[in-house]
Amino acid sequence: METSVRARAGTVDQNLIQANAQHRYEVRPNDIPLSCPMPGMYLWNSHPKVYLPIRETGEAKCPYCGAEYYFAGKKD
């Protein structure tokens, strides 16, 4: 299953994605710079934020949770 995550501010009453709930996420140009967990995810039950290099290969894997990200836009 794949999920697109868009940048949003997070409060407890918003409909956010549970961090690390899936293992493969689609990344769009507006998600760069890429971090795990991403801005649209809850942070309270997740690992520390880590920035992931995705531009060169179009793919990245989080060293903490193993989540895989793939770039859906054009590479610059």
- Give, as one character, the DSSP assignment of residue 17: B
CA-only gyration radius of the chain, Å: 12
Q: To the nearest whole number, what is the mean pLDDT of the chain?
A: 77
Contacts of 70 (CB under 8 A, 6+ apart): 24, 25, 26, 27, 58, 59
The answer to whether residue 43 scores a pLDDT higher than 50 is yes
Q: How confident is the model at residue 75 (pLDDT cuts 50, 70, 90)?
A: low
Q: Decide: pTM greater than 0.75.
A: no
Domain boundary assignment for the chain? 31-76
Distance between CA atoms of residues 6 and 68, nearest Å:
16
pLDDT surpasses 90 at 60: yes
